[in-house]
Each structure stands twice: as structure tokens, then as C-alpha cells.
Amino acid sequence: MHLSPDDIILWQFGLFKINATIAFTWALMAVLTVGAWAITRRLSRGLARSRWQNLLEIIVTGIETQIADIGLVAPRKYVGFLGTLFLFVATASLFTIVPGYEPPTGSLSTTTALALAVFVAVPMFGIAECGLREYLAAYVKPTVIMLPFNIISELSRTLALAARLFGNMMSGTMILAILLTITPFIFPIMLSALGLLTGMVQAYIFSVLAAVYIAAATRVRPPVPGGAVADTASANTL
Amino acid sequence: MLIDWFTVVAQLLNFLILVWLLKRFLYQPVLDAIDAREQRIAKELAQADATRDAAEAEQTHFREQQAALEAQREALLATATADADVEGKRLIEAARQRATELEAQQTQRLATQATALRQALAERTQREVFAVCRKALGDLADAGLESRMVATFVRRLQAARATDEAALLAGFKASVAPLVVRSAFALSDADRAAVQAALKDDLGIAQAPQFEIASDRVAGIEIASAGQTLGWSIADYLDALQASVAELLAAPAPVPPAGEAKPSIKLKARSDAE
């Protein structure tokens, strides 16, 4: 029994290898990209449109609305990053209904990679929005004493982000595998349904937290006392 | 070790590639389509607003025009009514005037006809009266009417010296113009001699008179000189008769009893200028 799909090595050449995590990620990427391309290649700009186009429009406008609700002023700028985070995590959870599928988000390497992406994206968006000086100045507000705490906050929330998603996804798969060995009927189906729900919730939480971090970083100019700390605290409770 | 750093890097790259792919194939086309639709809807709404504004403006303009036309129609109607009244009054006045003229013409024509009729009747009456008188005198008294008339004329002339005609007779006597004795019938020699004798002996007129026959007269005898005439006639008698006939023509009225008109035979002086 393996804890992570990283352990399933499909091909290896020296340092380079293709494990189940990477393979399933590619598969998800292919499904998402081909699906999007298939639908969007014949987009209607008029009032009449296909059901698939309606679905995509609902998803995209829903993401945009969520981002705007969180407080980001120009949501379109963040739709690419935050939307992809949500869609990738959600799709990874959704495909757990396929037998033999191992969600890439059940690998700590994947969640770490996603958390690192957020870790890098937050200051990038913050600097792009407010400028380097303003962004860095936010770390010493309200006093310089807060600098180490702010840095710890940045690091810890990234770690929390990665660990939370990994724990939830891995546990779901693990519980399912364990239950399958104990009670092969009924319970695995219920747990699978619960896992789907958990996966969707986690996808939402992950992307919303990333949006909150970015919103906090881009709202440096009007100081929000303890905003980042409060965000971190609320994220850790989830 | 739960974290495989090669996988982390690979997944990081995979995620970035996925971000680009989804941006390229999902977000951008869908958002563009939504924007295009929103723009189109906004454009259509703006066009609808513009059309509605234009329609409202057109409606306002139309209403104003309609009100103006209505006012103009009212004004024209009032003018036409006033003109029609004036024209009607003018036509009625013209018709009244024309009717008055026609009535006057008719009255004139009737008067002319009545006059002509009266004259014709008078003449005829005169002729009939004299014819009856002549026949009656001839049959009953074996006397000629003309002779009796001349005798009466002479007698009257003799009596005239003491009456109003004396001045006229004096005028005749002093006149140098020829004296004319005019009668409706031819005088016999005896009658002429009687007249001449009366003029010469009784009135003192030495001038011998000329005798003329007035064929347009029915009866009567007169002397005339220098525009002055002295004669006798039964004019009053005939006038009374004409008046009676005129009343008969004008309205049916009871015929006055005989003898009401009392004709008188007397000498009457008149001027030729009349």
C-alpha cells in the first residue's frame, strides 16, 4: 500500500521519471484543454447558444463573481490563475469516481507545487498592483516588530495550504481503500460520494484562500490591521 | 519522504502550462463571447432607447402638428361660417332687391296695361254712348246729336260772358292768331253759321274761324287760339265711369247704384301745354 501516487513509478531515466501523479495530471490537463477547446471553438456571440457553452459561461462567470466578491477589484486579471487552481483541484477530485484513478492532489508533491505557485503569485500580484516598495512596506506594518511574524505567516500559510489539500485528498482515498478491504459494499459508495463533496469543498477553499491572500497583498495601500493574520487564522481553522 | 521534488517541479510546470492552456482555450474565448454579447445587448438597448426617444419626439411633434391643424381648422371653419353668413345675407338682400325690382316691374306693367285698358274702354265707352245717344235722339226726337251739341255749345258760349271764362274770351278777342273751331264731326253749314254768328255777335270776335275735324276725338267741340282752348266735354262723366271700372278691376266690389256718378257738361278751359 502506498500513501502517494508519487510512489507508482511508470517510467524512470535517472532523475527523470514519470509517476502516476504526473501521468494523471497530464490526463486531467488533456481532458480540460480538449474539452474547453471543443466547446469554445464554436462559441456563439449572439443570444442563442449551446448547453455546453452555457455551462462554461456559468463556470467562468461564477469564478469571476466569486473573485469579485472576495474583494479583488479587477477580477479578470486573476481568473486565469485562481480559476485554473479551482478547476484543476475540482477535476482531480471529480475523477475519483473512475476506478483505478489516483487524484494527483493526493500527492503532497502536487499540493506543494500548487502552494508554491500561490506563494510566488501572491507577492507577484501584490507588487504588480502596488509596487515593490509599498508591498515590502506592508511587512513592517504597523511596526517593525511585526516583520518576523509576517514572514512566518507567509510561510506557514503556504505550508498549511499544501498540507490541508494533501491531507483531505489523501485521507479520502486512503479511507476508501481501507473500507474496500473491510466492507466492500455500500460504505465505499457513501464514502466516495462524501469524498466528492469534500473534494469540491477543498477545491473551493484552496482557490478562495489563494484569492484572499492575493486580495490582502493587493490591498496594501489602505492598511488593513492584522488582515493577513486574520486570513491565516481563518484558513487554519478549515 | 512524501515530497518528491522532481514531481513538485514537474507539477509546478504542469500547472503553469495548464494555466496558459485554459486561458487560451477557456477563459479568454468565453469572456470575449460574454463581452460581445453584453456589448450587443447594450447596443440594442441603446438603439431601442434612441428609437423610443425618436418615437416620443415624433409623437410630440405629431401631437403639436395635430393641435395646430385643429386650431387652423377651427379658424378656417369660423372664417368660412362668417363668410357664408355674409354671403347668405348678401344673397338674400340681392334676392329681396331683385324681387322688389320684379314686383315694381310687374306693378308697372300692370299699371300700363290698366291704363291702356282704361283708355281703350273710355274710347269705346265714348263711342258707344254717342252712338246710343245719336240713335235715341234720331229715333225719338228726330234730332241730330251733332246739331244739338253745336246748339248747346253756342248757348254756352253766350252764357260764358258772365262766368269765369270771360277773361279767356277776351284773350280770344285780342288775339291775332287764327281762331280754330275743332270738332269730332263735320259741321253742317248751318251749324258753322251758328257758331260764327255766336262768335261774332255775342263775343265780339271779328276774326273768321277755321273749322277743323279732329278724327281722334269721339265727341265734343272747342275753339282754340294761340295755345288757349275753350270747349266742352263729357270728361267728368267718363272719368266717373273709368273710376268705377277701375274699382271693378282692382277688387270685386258691389257696383255703385246708378245715378251716383253725376256727369256734368260744362265748358272747360285748358292749355295745350298740358
Q: Nearest C-alpha of chain B: how many angstroms from A80? A: 6
Asked whether the beta carbons of residue B15 and residue A88 sit closer than 8 angstroms, the reply is: yes
- In sequence order, the 6+-apart residues with CB closer than 8 A to the CB of A37 are B25
Helix, strand, coil shares of chain A, percent, nearest 5, are: 75, 5, 20
Residue-wise DSSP of A175-206: HHHHHHHH--SSHHHHHHHHHHHHHHHHHHHH
Of the candidates B6, B25, B27, the beta carbon closest to that of A79 is on B27
Task: Tell whether A121 is within 8 A of chain B (Cβ).
Answer: no
CA of residue A168 relative to chain centroid, distance? 12
Asked whether the beta carbons of residue A109 and residue B8 sit closer than 8 angstroms, the reply is: yes
A176 compared with A29, residue with greater pLDDT: A29
Rounded mean pLDDT of B73-79? 95
Which pLDDT score, from 0 to 100, does residue A200 have?
93
Q: How many domains does chain A have?
A: 1
Task: Tell whether B42 is within 8 A of chain A (Cβ).
Answer: no
User: Does the interface ipTM go beyond 0.95?
Assistant: no
Residue B46 CB: number of other CB atoms within 10 A?
Answer: 10
CA of residue B99 relative to chain centroid, distance? 5
User: Residue with C-alpha cell 278751359?
Assistant: B269
Rounded mean pLDDT of A172-200? 83
Task: Tell whether B1 is within 8 A of chain A (Cβ).
Answer: no
How confident is the prediction for chain B on average, in pLDDT?
82
Asked whether the beta carbons of residue A25 and residue B12 sit closer than 8 angstroms, the reply is: no
How confident is the prediction for chain A on average, in pLDDT?
86
Residues of B in contact with A74 (CB under 8 A): none
Residues of A in contact with B29 (CB under 8 A): 40, 43
A219 compared with A52, residue with greater pLDDT: A52
Torsion of CA B236, B240, B245, B247, to 10 degrees: 140
Which pLDDT score, from 0 to 100, does residue A174 have?
81
B-proximal residues of A, 11-30, CB under 8 Å = 15-17, 19, 21-22, 25-26, 29
B255 compared with B217, residue with greater pLDDT: B217
A182, pLDDT greater than 50: yes
Residues of B in contact with A84 (CB under 8 A): 15, 18-19, 22-23
Chains A & B: contacts with CB separation below 8 Å: 121
Strand partners, A11: A18
A238, pLDDT greater than 50: no
Rounded mean pLDDT of B216-220? 70
Q: Where are the alpha helices (DSSP H) in B223-263?
A: 235-250
Per the CB < 8 A criterion, the answer to whether B25 and A131 are in contact is no
Confidence at B232, pLDDT banded by 50, 70, 90: low
Of the candidates A3, A29, A49, the beta carbon closest to that of B17 is on A29
Which pLDDT score, from 0 to 100, does residue B136 have?
85
Q: Where are the alpha helices (DSSP H) in A14-71?
A: 20-40, 51-70
Confidence at B243, pLDDT banded by 50, 70, 90: confident
Rounded mean pLDDT of A113-122? 93
Whole-angstrom Cα distance, residue B250 to residue A203?
Answer: 134
Task: Tell whether A102 is within 8 A of chain B (Cβ).
Answer: no
Rounded mean pLDDT of A143-167? 89
Nearest alpha carbon to residue A87 among A203, A213, A194, A173: A203
- In sequence order, the 6+-apart residues with CB closer than 8 A to the CB of A159 are A115
What are φ and ψ of residue B266, in 5° steps? -150, 165
B17 compared with A191, residue with greater pLDDT: B17
Confidence at B189, pLDDT banded by 50, 70, 90: confident
Q: Name the residue range of residue A90's domain.
A: 5-237
B264, pLDDT greater than 70: no
Rounded mean pLDDT of A16-21? 92
Whole-angstrom Cα distance, residue B92 to residue B84?
Answer: 12
Helix axes B28-136, B145-159, angle to 10 degrees: 90
Task: Tell whether B21 is within 8 A of chain A (Cβ).
Answer: yes
Task: Tell whether B45 is within 8 A of chain A (Cβ).
Answer: no
Which pLDDT score, from 0 to 100, does residue B267 have?
57
B174 compared with B218, residue with greater pLDDT: B174
CA angle A182, A184, A186 (to 5 degrees): 115
Confidence at B148, pLDDT banded by 50, 70, 90: confident
